[in-house]
Amino acid sequence: MTLLFRDDPYQVEAQAVVLAAGPEGIRLDRSLFYPNGGGQPGDIGTLSWDGGNITIIDARKAEPLVERGEQVLHIPAPDTPLPPIGATVTQRIDWDRRHRHMRMHTTLHLLCAVVPGAVTGGQVGADRSRLDFDVPSASLDKDQIEAAVNELIAADHPVRERTITDAELDATPELVRTMSVKPPTGSGSVRLLQIGTDDAIIDLQPCGGTHVARTGEIGGITIVKIENKGKQNRRVQLALRD
The CATH number of the domain holding residue 187 is 3.30.980.10
130, 54, 102: which is closest to 219 by C-alpha? 102
The number of distinct structural domains making up the chain is 2
pTM of this structure: 0.92
pLDDT digits (tens, 9 = 90+) for 177-233: 775 556 655 567 889 999 999 999 999 999 999 999 999 999 999 999 999 987 889
| % of the chain beyond a pLDDT of 70 | 93
The CATH number of the domain holding residue 69 is 2.40.30.130
Query: Which position has the higher pLDDT, 48 or 140?
Result: 48
98, 101, 100, 116: which is closest to 236 by C-alpha? 116
29, 33, 28: which is closest to 13 by C-alpha? 33
Beta-carbon contacts of residue 116 (< 8 Å; ≥ 6 apart): 133, 135, 136, 137
Mean pLDDT value of segment 74-81: 95
Domain boundary among 65, 93, 121: 93
Domain boundary among 93, 117, 150: 93
Domain boundary among 78, 93, 108: 93
Judge whether 101 and 240 are in contact, CB under 8 Å: no
User: Any alpha helices (H) in the chain, and if so which ranges?
Assistant: 4-7, 95-114, 142-154, 166-171
Domain that residue 65 falls in = 2-93
- The Cα-based distances of 226 to 133, 194, 233 in angstroms read 10, 26, 10
In one letter, which amino acid is 63?
E
| % of the chain beyond a pLDDT of 90 | 75
